[in-house]
Amino acid sequence: MTTTRTNMKNAYPKKIFIVATILIFVAVSCNTREVRCDNMPEQIIGSGEIINNAIISDLNTIPKIDYIITSDSQNIFYAYNPLSESTIAANLTVSFDNGNTYHPIDFSKYTVLGKYSDISACRTVFDRSVTKNTEQQKYIYKIIVIHCGDCEALWSDMNWILIPKIEDGFSVEFVVEYERWARKT
């Protein structure tokens, strides 16, 4: 009996060591996944036809759909909702100085586009671009949602952008793609 008790006493520290090793491994594995997200590209306003120093004030009170905003009346901007074929009044402003001051948008010079997108991830970057296709008489607003990690946090954005005034007769096509971030070495 003495031999069995000695073996059991020696087995207990071994089990603690094994459990501690597993816990450390799990903790290190989670941190490694987070580090991979640290090397994601920086968030930029956009490229192509997008006026890249313009920040549009965010409105969380309007429905999360596609918007083409082309006109105003006494600082109330009318957003056309292509899904419901209706118009929604919204008060949008623009900043050209990194968000320090906001001013009414001059819709004789500019058009505002907005496209809601979201994803559950540990970190997300929204890569936005607008291209003008003269042959098809349309603008293509493309958003690539670059995401990293499997977290439950919801990252969302209306992706408001400012572009030069859309020409008469031109339409807008909204495209959203999702891309999992792969760490570049």
| Range(s) of the domain holding residue 24 | 1-38
DSSP-derived 3-state class of residue 37: helix
Report how many domains make up the chain.
Answer: 2
Give the span between the Cα atoms of 65 and 62, in whole angstroms.
9
Q: In sequence order, what are the residues at sequence separation of 6 or more whose Cβ sits closer than 8 angstroms to the Cβ of residue 171?
A: 137, 138, 139
Residues 13, 93 within the same domain: no
Q: What is the pLDDT of residues 54-112, one digit of tens each?
A: 888 866 555 565 666 665 544 445 555 555 666 555 667 889 998 899 988 888 898 88
Q: Are residues 33 and 64 in the same domain?
A: no
Q: Whole-model pTM?
A: 0.67
Q: Are residues 86 and 163 in the same domain?
A: yes
Same-domain check for residues 75 and 156: yes
Residue-wise pLDDT for 141-160, tens only, equals 999 988 888 888 888 788 88
